[in-house]
Amino acid sequence: MTDAAVPLTVNGHAHSVRDVPGPERLLDTLRWRLGLKGTKEGCRSGACGACVVLVDGRATLSCLTLTHDVPGAQITTIEVGPEDAAVARVRAAFAQEGALQCGYCTPGFVLTLAGLLHERGRRAAREELLEAAGGNLCRCTGYAAIVRAVERLATEDR
Ligand code: FES
Ligand code: FES
C-alpha cells in the first residue's frame, strides 16, 4: 500500500487526507490528522467499543479499520451536528438519563446505538439496543443509567 491521499467525508465535510501510511487506523486519522478527539482510544484491539464511529451509517470499530480500506466513505463521529437525527436522539437520551460519569465510553455507546437506529429506520426494541451495545465497556460501570437511556430510546415517541 502506498502513502496515497485518502478521500473521506467526515460529518459532512470532505477531506483528502494525504500521506497516509498503509497500516494507519481510522481512529488515528480522525484523532490526529483531523483533530476529532471525540472518538476515544481504549484497547486498540476491538474489545471495548470506545472507538466506534459510523462508516456509511454502520457502527464500526475505528481501531480495527485501516483508513486505506474506506476511501470515499461517509464517516460520522460524535462531533456531528443535529443533522444526524439518530446520533442527536441518542445523545439526548444519555443526557436526560445522566448516562455518563467520566464520559470516556460515551461516544462509543452513542455511535453504536445510533448505528442500530440508522439500520432500523430509527426504531429499535430495548433488547436489540442492549445487544448492539453489548460490546461496549464502561470502566466507570455506569451501566444502570445507560440501560435507562436505552429504555428511553426504545419507548419514546419518534
Ligand atoms: S479502542 Fe477500539 S474497541 Fe477498544
Ligand atoms: S462513563 Fe467513564 S468509562 Fe463509561
Cβ–Cβ contacts within 10 Å for residue 81, how many?
Answer: 9
Each residue's pLDDT tens digit, 128-147: 999 999 999 999 999 999 99
C-alpha cell at 25: 487506523
**So what's the pLDDT on residue 49?**
98
50 Cβ below 6 A of ligand 1: yes
Domain 85-155 has CATH 1.10.10.10: no
Ligand 2 pocket test target in 51, 105, 112 with most atoms within 8 Å of CB: 105
* Domain ranges, ordered by start, for the chain: 6-76, 85-155
Summarize the confidence of residues 67-85 as an average pLDDT: 97
List of residues 6+ apart from 100 with CB closer than 8 A:
94, 106, 142, 145
Confidence category of residue 123, pLDDT binned at 50, 70, 90: confident
Q: What is the mean pLDDT of the chain?
A: 95
Each residue's pLDDT tens digit, 82-91: 999 999 999 9
Residue 17, pLDDT above cutoff 80: yes
Confidence category of residue 122, pLDDT binned at 50, 70, 90: confident
139 Cβ below 6 A of ligand 1: no
**So what's the pLDDT on residue 121?**
85
Fold of the 6-76 domain: Ubiquitin-like (UB roll) (3.10.20)
Question: 43 C-alpha vs ligand 1 centroid, how far in Å?
Answer: 5
Summarize the confidence of residues 72-76 as an average pLDDT: 98
Confidence category of residue 51, pLDDT binned at 50, 70, 90: very high
105 Cβ below 6 A of ligand 2: yes
Question: 105 C-alpha vs ligand 2 centroid, how far in Å?
Answer: 5
143 Cβ below 6 A of ligand 2: no
**Cα 16 to Cα 7, 65, 74, 111, 144, distances in angstroms:** 4, 17, 13, 23, 41
**So what's the pLDDT on residue 133?**
97
Q: Whose CA is nearest to atom 4 of ligand 2?
A: 138
85-155: same fold as 6-76?
Answer: no
**So what's the pLDDT on residue 76?**
98
Residue 2, pLDDT above cutoff 60: no
